[in-house]
Every structure is written in C-alpha cells, then in structure tokens.
A and B are shown apart, each in its own frame.
Chain A
Amino acid sequence: MNTTAQMASGQDPTTGAQERKDRIGDVLLRVENITLRFGGVKAINGVSFDIRKGEVRSIIGPNGAGKSSMLNCINGFYQPQEGSIWYNGKTYSPMRPHDAATNGIARTFQNIALFKGMSTLDNIMTGRILKQKASLIEQAFYFGRGKSEEIEHREFVEDIIDFLEIQAIRKTPVGRLPYGLQKRVELGRALAAEPTLLLLDEPMAGMNLEEKEDMSRFIIDVNEHFGTTIALIEHDMGVVMDLSDRLVVLDYGSLLADGTPEEVRGNQAVIDAYLGVAHD
C-alpha cells in the first residue's frame, strides 16, 4: 500500500483538464458550405465548421440565427440545397434521417418531441429500435430474439434510467410528467441509441436553476463516461461557457465566429451581435 505520501485530499484540477484534452480526438463531422433555403429565405448561408470526437461543441446565436436549422441539416431532417456533410469518413450531400440514425447521430428537440402515449420506459426503449433485429414472427409470438432482445435492451435502458435518476417514473406515461423530467426522458431516449454524436437542442430551455444544474451534470457525465461527442444549442451563456470545448456562433444564418469560449468571448462581431448593433 502506498499511503500517506499521496494522500492529497480533493481533486487536482489540472489533472481533470488534461484528461479532457486527451479525450478530444480527430474530426468526427465537418459541415461544408451548407446553405439552406425556405422558399426565398436563406436560413443558413454557406456555413462550415467541424466537430471533433469527444468534444462538447456549442452552437450559439440570437433567435432565428439558424441554430436549430443547422442541427436539422446535420441529422437529415432538412436537406440543404447546397453543401455537404462529411461524417466519420463519408460525405453525405445531403444527409438523410435514416443515414443519421444508423450512423449514431441522436438528438433531443427544442420543443419536447416525446411519444406522449407511451411510458418513460417505452419511450427510452424506442431509442434501441435500430439495434433490435427480431423478426416479425419472433415478435408476434414473443419467442427467440423477440423475447431475449426485449430483456437485453431493457437492461441497457434500465442503466440509463438509473443514470438519469428517473426510476420513480419508469412506468408513468410521459404526458403526465413535468417539463424538466420530460426533457430528461428525451435525453434518455437519445442516449439509448448509444450515439456517437449527440445533438442537444436547448436542453435547458424553460428550466429552473436546480434543473439546469442537474441537466448540466448529466451532459458532462454523458460526455465523460460514454465519451459521446456533443453538439449543443443553448441560450444560457453561463452554461455554454462552462460546458463547451469550442463554440460556433451563428447570426442571420452566417458563421460569425468559431473558437474556444475565451476566443469567442473576446470576439468583437459576437459582442456586437449580442448587444444588438443594427445590421444593414
């Protein structure tokens, strides 16, 4: 036993920061010159940036800056007219929802998009759908993989339920849950897919301080424990600056700045945009 010599109590902050840096790896996803138009309106205008493996990347910007549209392009819900998305060695122009899902891109939504008629457990189980392979007959008669998969994935889902501390609402229909818990269930559903890249669209919108703290903790834990890369849209600047490794700032659909929290904080264009200097 090596004893008293190394018994410094508490955590050494530098060790943690170093570990974080070590965890961030190569580029996982690169958005290349994306332009998205609705009718004549350009929601996104030639934006490029990348997301590295293991990092927490935030997309910030004023309302209507095209942040949600950006996430929608990344996971294929919107198909941009121009540009392409390079992801894990392949170029997609555009990305399709099914490509995104099968490649491990999961997301949560700004306005909660849970399956209201189902329980918490079932909602999270839907996140496992791509991993279930039982045939129709096996499901219909609940034998073979039809049964074994249900149990196997239930175990996985229970881990998530435990992780998110939502044991007590396991069998409650999600429609009856308060807002903060619904957000948590939605995160659980996304996690159930064991995503490589997790897109979080305003995970803390409408939450009180305590709920925000909980959610921040979950996001950090997800990033650290599962090594999940996270792309985050959030309005609370304090949260963003604390959580993110790097930020992308969008304004009126264009890229305004890209860099570490410190760099972005000092960027004049960003300060102008946030202070509402008139555009012309």
Chain B
Amino acid sequence: METIATLLGVDPFDLWFFVEVLVGGLMAGVMYSLVALGFVLIFKASSVFNFAQGVMVLFAALNFVGFLDMGIPVWLCFILAMGVMVLLSFVIERVVLRPLVNQPHISLFMATIGIAIFLEGFGEMLWGSSIKPLDVGIPDDVFFLGEAMIQQNDMFAAVVASVLVIALALFFHYTRIGRALRAVADDHQAALSIGIPLNHIWIIVWSVAGFVALVAGIMWGSKLGVQFSLTVLALKALPVLILGGFTSIPGAIVGGLIIGAGEKLSEIYLVDAIQSFYPSFSGAIEEWFAYILALAFLVFRPQGLFGEKIIERV
C-alpha cells in the first residue's frame, strides 16, 4: 500500500511539503477556533455549554446564503443574517434559558442539544438541504511561500479570525457591556450590581456568539459550500475546548491551531510511520485524532492548557 505522500508524488520529508501541510492544518485550525470561540463566550458568561454553536454556524450561513440568493447585496445580507441571530438569541433566552435557570448544568447542556437539532431542521426547512456554494468575493487563488502552496482564502480566513479576536478583546476591555460580561463570568451578583439584568447579558452574549458563528459560517461556507456536514466539523470544536480550557479565549485559538495542525500532520507523518510497520493500515486518523488527543488531555490535564483548576469542597 502506498502512503499519501507517495500518492501525491512528493517526498514527505521535504521541508516545503511540511510547511504546506502545517499551514493547511493551521488554517483548518483557525476554523475550529472560530467555532470554539463562540462556545467560550457563552460558557464564560452563563456556564452554559452550548452544544448548538456548531449548528448556529450552519444556521447563520444558511440564512446568509438564502438572503444572498434573493439578490440582496452582501453587506445587507450580513446585517439581515446578524438580525436573525439576534432574534434567535432573544428566543433562546426566553424559551430555553429562562425556564431552565438554576437547573443542573447538564440539563442546560442537553437543552442546547435540543436547540441544535431544532435549528438544523428549521434552517433546512427554510432554505432547503442542498449544498449551496457561497461566493462573497474572497479570493481563492493559490500563492507560493517558497515551494509551499498556500490557499489565498485560508490566509483571508486567518486575517478575519485575527481581526475578530482583536475586536472581541477590545469589546470586552473597553465597553461597559463587555466589562459586564466579564464580570458575570466571575460572579453573577457582581454583574447585577453593574446594573445589567442577567437576561440581557444572556441575550447579548448569545448574540455575540451568533456574530462569531456568522463569520465562521461565511468563512467555512466559502471554502466548502454551505452544507449539513458543517455541523459535524463543528463538533471538532469540542476537543479544541478541552485543550484550550472552557473559559479561555486565547485557549480556544491556540487549541484550534494545535488540533488543526496536529491532525493534518499526523495524517501525513503518523500514518506514514504506522504504515511502514503495518502496510494495510488505512489511515484516515483525522476523524478521531482530535478527540483522542482531547481524551489524553482530559485524563492528564482535565483543566486544559489555560483553564483553572477546580477544587471540590464539602
């Protein structure tokens, strides 16, 4: 059996090939990071583990594409899609979060699974379930870094992600709402004393997460087309969170990059190594690499790279 590298006709130990794989992986990682970012925002502000974040990416992208197909200009589509996400935040706060306040976290977690399923059906009900190509004018040529081939849209996504992270950092640091959101992560009472009702905070934070989802959806949609498989890819954000820690925004970014790069590199080099011992090995470890890595982390460092240690008291 031939290895992937030999199939591609390159020497796996070529430095430029390595760079190419690494950059490709890092770019995929940026996508994971974007989804993970949404998780972290919501988790920090409300301790809700939002399983629906992945589906929100799909849902946002579906809305965006749907509006675009109506011939609406791109900027207006973006605003409309964002409006839908804000509306969604209102509905979720009213229908799901408020009745479940003070319930065990695990119940809220399962409720977000319910939201995920519902949105999946709802989004496709509105816009159909076929794969929709998305072109918002992001360049998709390639350029060469040395001998390594790099996708332009990957670079674009990286830039957008960076801008987004910086924007969020500024938002959290320099706006009153941002500060309130940070406060609420530490202490609900403290947030109340700032004068913003908890309900509003939830709506805001879910809207921000919706915004992140929309951006992630547009990036991913441009690359792969808007389709159902986005939600499965979004599941990859879970191991990213384990690595980065649930409460850390930098953790989400770094975790995403590690997983993105790790799974691409291991697919090439680890499989290569295994196949030299066991030639019938079929590879495709990309499917589980991230999860097993997360599992290893869970056993040896459950709080992740950046999370805080939990002390139990009686």
Enumerate chain A interface residues (CB-CB to B < 8 A).
Answer: 38, 68, 72, 77, 109-111, 113
Are B311 and A72 within 8 A (Cβ)? no
| B311 x A109 contact (CB < 8 A) | no
Q: Are A113 and B311 in contact (CB under 8 A)?
A: no
Cβ–Cβ contact B311 & A38, under 8 A: yes
The complex places the Cα of A68 from the Cα of B314 at a distance, in Å, of 9
* Total contacting residues, chain B, CB less than 8 A: 2
Given contacts A77-B314, A109-B314, A113-B314, 5 further A-B contacts (CB under 8 A): A38-B311, A68-B314, A72-B314, A110-B314, A111-B314
Residues of A within 8 A of B311 (CB): 38
Interface string of B299-314 (1 = CB under 8 A from A): 0000000000001001
**Which B residue sits closest to A109, measured CB to CB?**
B314
- Return chain B residues, CB-CB under 8 Å to A77: 314
Give Cα A270–Cα B204 distance, bound, in whole angstroms: 53
**B12-29 interface code vs A (CB 8 A; 1 in, 0 out):** 000000000000000000
| Cα–Cα, bound, A45→B109 (Å) | 42
User: In the complex, which residues of chain B have a beta carbon less than 8 angstroms from the beta carbon of A72?
Assistant: 314
Measured between C-beta atoms, what is the minimum distance from B312 to chain A in Å?
9
Summed over the interface, the residue pairs from A and B with CB atoms below 8 Å come to a total of 8
- Which parts of B276-302 form the interface with A (CB within 8 Å)? none
Which chain B residue shows the least CB distance to A39?
Answer: B311
The interface residues of chain B lying within 8 Å CB-to-CB of A111 are 314
Kindly supply a per-residue 1/0 record for chain B positions 193-231, scoring 1 wherever the CB is within 8 Å of any chain A CB and 0 otherwise.
000000000000000000000000000000000000000
| Subset of 8 A-B contacts with CB under 8 Å | A38-B311, A68-B314, A72-B314, A77-B314, A109-B314, A110-B314, A111-B314, A113-B314
Q: What are the residues of chain B within 8 A of A113 when measuring CB–CB?
A: 314
Q: What is the CA–CA distance of A68 and B311 in the complex, to the nearest angstrom?
A: 16
Bound CA span A111–B312, Å: 14
Could you tell me the distance in whole angstroms from the C-beta of B286 to the nearest C-beta in chain A?
A: 39
* CB-based nearest B residue for A68: B314
List of 8 A-B pairs having minimum Cβ-Cβ separation, nearest first: A77-B314, A109-B314, A72-B314, A113-B314, A68-B314, A38-B311, A110-B314, A111-B314
Assembled-state Cα–Cα distance A109/B314 (Å): 8
Chain A positions within 8 Å of B314 at CB level: 68, 72, 77, 109-111, 113
Bound together, the chains give a CA A54 to CA B311 distance in angstroms of 35
* Closest-CB distance, A253 to chain B (whole angstroms): 16
A110 contact set on B, CB distance < 8 A: 314
In the bound complex, CA of A38 to CA of B311 (Å): 10
Specify which chain B residues have a CB less than 8 angstroms from the CB of A38 in the assembled complex.
311
Q: How far is it, in angstroms, between the C-alpha of A104 and the C-alpha of B287 when the chains are bound?
A: 50
* A37 CB, nearest partner CB in chain B, Å: 12
Cα–Cα, bound, A232→B276 (Å):
66
The minimal Cβ–Cβ distance linking B66 to chain A, given in whole angstroms, is: 45
**CB of A40, distance to nearest CB on chain B (Å):** 14
Q: Which residues in window 62-89 of B have CB below 8 A to A?
A: none
A38 to B314, CA, bound (A): 14
CA distance A88 to B311 in the complex (A): 31
Query: In the complex the two chains form, what is the Cα distance from A61 to B250 in whole Å?
Result: 45
Q: How far is the CB of B184 from chain A (nearest CB, A)?
A: 25
Instruction: Give the docked Cα–Cα distance between A77 and B311 (Å).
Output: 12
Residue of A nearest to B311 (CB): A38
CB distance from B232 to the nearest CB of A (A): 34
Residue of B nearest to A77 (CB): B314
